[in-house]
Amino acid sequence: MDRLDNTIRPYAWGSTTAIPQLLGAEPTGEPQAEMWMGAHPGAPSRTSRGTLVEVIEAGPERELGERAVAKFGPRLPFLLKILAAGAPLSLQVHPDLAQAREGYEDEERRGIPVDAPHRNYKDANHKPELVCAITEFDGLCGFRDPDRAADLLDGLGVDSLKPYVDLLHAHPQDAALREVLTAVLTADREEMAGTVAEATAACTRLGGAYAPYADIAHHYPGDPGVIAAMLLNHVRLQPGEALFLGAGIPHAYLNGLAVEIMANSDNVLRCGLTPKHVDVPELLRIVRFQPSDPGVLRPEASPDGEEVYETPIDEFRLSRYVLPEGGARHDLTRPTPQILLCTAGAVRAGEHELRPGQSVFVPAGETAEVTGSGTLFRATVVA
């Protein structure tokens, strides 16, 4: 197995302290938002044999196994991250596989450069993802029941929000949600900025259920995404709890440290809380306008101590081991590729001693015995 040297991405929304604290390092004063583990061409992990991209390209079936290559092709189909949100991420949604292929082919035909700021589809893949809290973690996930969203907006006492409140009480629910989100994102920017300012003042004054939106507005003053965010469920995960974000589900991460795993894609359509491009017509084509429970996931424990986060996705499978002091040795050998990530304590994987934030890549079929005391996340595929 290969110890991984991973890139930390300095996105502006990142915490300045969470990842350094996990790694036992001194903060640099700069935001450290995500640590990437995998073979994404934008920031592949490095090993003693070269980048993980180079290692896999040199022997796909040796590294990934015949079953994974047959199912996903000669590439690692997932990207594992440590995510540290110090400020809200953009409100966003991801396409399904058919939408991603169609959108990518359309933008290729139109000759839009892949790095163009107004390009929506960087690749032809979908991007389902799972986020698992290391610390208490706040996020937005899926639409609220429209009547509940109407009550939340009505409670602000902002006159310019009354038309949205009336629309949300209409039926059917999917049409009501579509109308309101469309109206919010296409409203006159100056008028909407005034509405957001009034709503922000009310959220700050009222606190309680409004406190998350006051914080969002503090980071994105005047952004229509503040009102759009109030249409979504607010979720607070406790350590070990997770959320699965499927295609078409609007979401945003607000604050906290987490492990995140996703299909290896960059396809994001933004709804707000960002200075980046918002393609409203394409967004409205992708969003699923259905109220839903956010569905907090708790891991299913197996007899050998593996705790699995069940999802309907084959490109990734995330589980964890909480290893007690003096516990048994665990054999994690699998016929599929794995990344093992320590987030607490000290865990020995093969010949590698892993401390929090350290990880290894385990080629398919390679012996992977684990001992020690701590928390170990295991990322692999279903093949």
Per the rule left: phi > 0, alpha: psi between -120 and 50, beta: everything else, 7 is beta
At 91, list the tokens.
């409100």
| Dist CA 107 CA 287 (whole Å) | 19
Selected catalytic residue, list 270, 317, 334, 378: 270
Cα gap 176→25, rounded to integer Å: 49
Length of the chain: 383
Beta carbons of 77 and 262 less than 8 angstroms apart: no
How far is it, in rounded angstroms, from Cα 342 to Cα 360?
9
What 8-state DSSP symbol labels residue 110? T
Q: Is 270 a catalytic residue?
A: yes
3 state DSSP class of 119? coil
- Four-point Cα dihedral 243, 249, 254, 255, nearest 10: 20
Task: Name the pairing type of β-strands 50-51 and 129-133.
Answer: unpaired
Angstrom distance (rounded) from CA 182 to CA 164: 11
Task: Phi first, then psi: give them for residue 73, nearest 5 degrees.
Answer: 90, 180
Contact 263, 77 (CB under 8 A): yes
d(CA 96, CA 136): 29
- Cβ contact 369:1 at 8 Å: no
Q: Which amino acid is at 369?
A: E
Which residues are known catalytic residues? Answer: 270
